Amino acid sequence: MKPFSFSKPGSLAKLMQARKDAAQFLAGGTNLVDLMKKNIAAPGALIDISTALSDKVELTGGKLRIGAMVRNSAIATNAQVISKAPLVAKAVLAGASPQIRNMASTGGNLLQRTRCPYFYDVSTPCNKRQPGTGCSALHGENRMSAIVGYNDQCVAVHPSDLCVALAALDATVNVTNAQQKQIVIPFKDFHKLPDNSPDRDNQLPANAIITSIDIPDNPFAQHHAYVKIRDRDSYAFALISVAAALHIQGGRIADVRLASGGVAHKPGAGTKQSSS
């Protein structure tokens, strides 16, 4: 691992001042520390954001606001999440292990990198790791790769379960950019397809930071399911997953949401929303 400096600013303003191009924000570390061990990420400075950003779930004006530093396990056990957006709690519990869920943050879940084996194998070409080198998975070991929205530059998938539920429920991502202005990115626009820049997973502007996620008031708390098909029953990434939610009124389906996971470069690609 390349040596790096370490700092832990106490406020968002100080975080943004500390952010330089060679620096990277550290939240739970469950993905970034691993990437650093494999030399896929080699920041010159780490900025620990764990005390500067919110670790609270709040109900504000009907919206459920999940702070960027809320740990995955805290989402799953939060009473407001369970009553307002139980689909989110179910999706979180379908991912990773209890130890990792105790560490991993909400913001970090969105920003985690693909688990494509070639992305992690630095001896093979990978357009996501090293733009322009080619895609080894395209004709390689790709049974867990994308089946929609891919191109010949990249067939990687986004591995998150949480994000699939957030896509189904029309969440929005609250971001503070490098100029310290707050911007809101709709969840469906946050991640991107590989296009000509598979090295970029999402539309988060350079040096910006996710501060929280909003889930709008929704009628889907009663009827929902998160189904995940994988190689073993627990602690495995999805071959495919689906977040499904129904709004049933008077015995009729008034509204339905379906979002897929584990099949595309962005979670919820092919998300269907329909109103009667």
Partner 1 sequence: MNGKQSYSRRFFLKTSGALAALAAIPASVKSLYTEVRNFIVSPRQTIPLSVTINKKALKLTVDTRTTLLDLLRENLQLTGTKKGCDHGQCGACTVHLNGERVLSCLTLAATLPGKEVTTIEGLANGDQLHPMQQAFIECDGFQCGYCTPGQIMSAVACVNEGHTGSVAEIKEFMSGNLCRCGAYNGIVASIQKVAG
Task: Out of 17, 21, 235, 249, name the contact with partner 1 by CB under 8 A.
Answer: 235
Binder to partner 1 among 34, 58, 141, 195 (CB under 8 A)? 34
Contact residue for partner 1 among 9, 12, 14, 48 (CB under 8 A)? 48
Binding residues with partner 1: total (CB under 8 A): 29
Asked whether position 136 contacts partner 1 by CB under 8 A, the answer is: no
d(C-alpha 143, C-alpha 146), whole Å: 8
Q: Which of 96, 135, 144, 175 touches partner 1 (CB under 8 A)?
A: 96
Told to check if 8 binds partner 1 by CB under 8 A, we report yes
CA-closest candidate to residue 275, choices 170, 188, 162: 170
Residue type, 205: P
Contact between 148 and 270 (Cβ < 8 Å): yes
Backbone CA torsion sign across 194, 195, 196, 201: negative
d(CA 232, CA 225): 19
Nearer to partner 1, 45 or 147 (CB): 45
Q: What is the dihedral of CA 130, 121, 154, 168, to 10 degrees?
A: -110
Structure tokens given for 14:
């100080």
Q: How far is the CB of 11 from partner 1 (least distance, A)?
A: 17
- Site residues (vs partner 1, CB under 8 A): 1-6, 8, 26, 29-30, 33-34, 36-37, 44, 46, 48, 50, 73, 96-100, 102-103, 233-235
